[in-house]
Structure 1
Amino acid sequence: MIENHPSRDVFDAIADPTRRQLIHLLSQADEKPLHELTSQFSMGRTAVSKHLTVLKEAGLVLDRKVGRETRFKLNPAPLREVQDWVAYYSKYWTTNMLRLGQLLEEEKQEKH
């Protein structure tokens, strides 16, 4: 079930490298069981579960029970907030890169 109001900030959820790796792993499959995800890390099942809980609280991960197994699936929709935030500020990077290019070109012409 997708939460309409995630209880955790998406930026907080993706701040941790382990959680970003979990997102990456989940992006490569429709869904993965906990034991497959845990095998990719040098930490125990409980630690991986805690990271998955943070991702679930941010709405980035959905889970379902299949017998005794829990399977996890990526819900990439909340990442749109991150994309929109980065896109807004990218205009500053573009402007600064253009200025740097102009400055370097001016310095090059002055030397010749």
Structure 2
Amino acid sequence: MSPAPPDTSPVASVFAALGDTTRLMLLTRLIEGRAQSVVELTRGTGLTRQGVSKHLAVLEAAGVVSSTRTGRENRFAVRPSGLAEAGRYLERASRQWGNAAERLRNLVED
């Protein structure tokens, strides 16, 4: 009996969250610097604060951003640990694909 596959649901939620161009843009803006409020993140996007808030809620649920209440506003920042797990998954997948490609090449050459 083969071992059970690892639970990929946390990583899947990260990839699902990052599969949206608006959320990816928001994450990129947060990666570039300090924690920011919804108002700051909305500036220059053409989106409403409510729209940005909804996207940030998805990113927070996926574990890639966190919010901290400061006075009357929430400030959002990147959670590196949430992105690190997705990075580890991609590294494992890359190794597996590399190994599969090597086996295929050996099979074709023999």
Structure 2 length normalisation: TM-score? 0.71
Of 50, 70, 85 in structure 1, the residue corresponding to residue 74 of structure 2 is 70
1:89, distance to aligned residue in structure 2 (A): 2.5
Matched, 1:29 2:33: yes
Given residue 88 of structure 1, which amino acid in structure 2 is its aligned partner?
Answer: R
Query: Which consecutive residues of structure 2, in runs of 5 or more, have no partner in the other structure?
Result: 1-9, 106-110
Structure 2 CA distance for aligned equivalents of residues 40 and 55 of structure 1: 20
Greater radius of gyration (CA) = 1
Runs of 4+ more than 3 Å apart: 93-97
Q: Which has the larger displacement, 43-52 or 61-70?
A: 61-70
Structure 1 CA distance for aligned equivalents of residues 82 and 42 of structure 2: 23
Percent of aligned pairs sharing the same letter: 36
State the match for 2:16 in structure 1: 12
1:81, distance to aligned residue in structure 2 (A): 2.2
State the match for 2:4 in structure 1: none
**SS of corresponding position for 1:29:** coil
- Considering only aligned residues, what root-mean-square deviation do their CA atoms show, in Å? 2.4
Aligned residues: 93
1:30, distance to aligned residue in structure 2 (A): 2.3
Given residue 73 of structure 2, which amino acid in structure 1 is its aligned partner?
Answer: E
1:56, distance to aligned residue in structure 2 (A): 0.8
Alignment of 1:1-112 (within 5 A): 9-91=13-95, 92=97, 96=101
Q: Deviations over 1:43-83 (max 9, x none)?
A: 11111000000011111111122222221111121112221
**SS of corresponding position for 2:81:** coil
Structure 2 CA distance for aligned equivalents of residues 94 and 40 of structure 1: 45
Structure 1 CA distance for aligned equivalents of residues 15 and 82 of structure 2: 10
